Amino acid sequence: MIEQQGRVHRLDDGIAEVWVGAVSGCAACDAGKGCGAGVFGKLLRRSPGSFRVENTLQAVPGSQVTLGIPESAFLLLVMRLYGLPIVAGLVGAAFGHYLGTYVFGFGVSAAATWIDGLALSGGIVGLFLSGWLTRRSQPSLTGFAELRMVALIPDRPDAVCGGRP
């Protein structure tokens, strides 16, 4: 299971809105006194994302929770977001190359430029079509059945990253 920690922002009829990705580590790491994850967190700072999940753990606003998604569902999302554009670009480039050789043939040296241009254009068209298709059919993780609360993290002000004092 792929897990990510987040903080419950608000509740709405048994559905919790959880913000993830806004923090880089624990308070000690952010202050530069922990295990060092804060340094990488500052370099890779990203804007927080929010997910709406069923509040199965009776979390309250401000609670820290762990969200989880099975590896199989995560792999399908990754393949859809990364694999589909690569395959579509290659298929588009192959189609453009085939079209160019059909129209211009192999004999003329100037035709090679046109064939390469058509292959490039076909790859770009395939890439943009896959991006459009992915965005149009993108699953909303709001109702994504696989994403769920796994654990409620207790507030411990004395805790530091990695158990180091």
Q: What is the pLDDT of residue 103?
A: 83
Mean pLDDT for 140-152 is 66
Are the beta carbons of 150 and 53 closer than 8 angstroms? no
For the chain, give the DSSP string: -EEEEEEEEEEETTEEEEEES---S-HHHHTT-SSSHHHHHHHT----EEEEEE-TT---TT-EEEEEE-HHHHHHHHIIIIIHHHHHHHHHHHHHHHHHHHHH-SS-HHHHHHHHHHHHHHHHHHHHHHHHHHHHTPPPTTS-TT-EEEEEEPP-TT--GGG--
| More confidently predicted of 70 and 124 | 124
Q: Is the pLDDT of residue 14 over 70?
A: yes
| More confidently predicted of 91 and 165 | 91
CA-wise closest residue to 2 among 77, 79, 67? 67
Least confident of 73-77, 148-152, 153-157: 153-157
In angstroms, the CA 14 to CA 30 distance is 33
Q: What is the pLDDT of residue 141?
A: 46
Are the beta carbons of 52 and 15 closer than 8 angstroms? yes
- In angstroms and rounded to an integer, the radius of gyration of the C-alpha atoms of the chain is 24
Q: Is the pLDDT of residue 10 over 70?
A: yes
| More confidently predicted of 129 and 161 | 129
At a CB cut-off of 8 Å and minimum separation 6, what does 28 contact?
Answer: 34, 38, 160, 161, 164
- Which domains are seen in the chain, by residue range? 2-69+146-163 (2.40.50), 73-136 (no CATH)
Mean pLDDT for 51-68 is 86
> pLDDT of 122-145, one tens digit each?
999 999 999 888 877 765 544 455
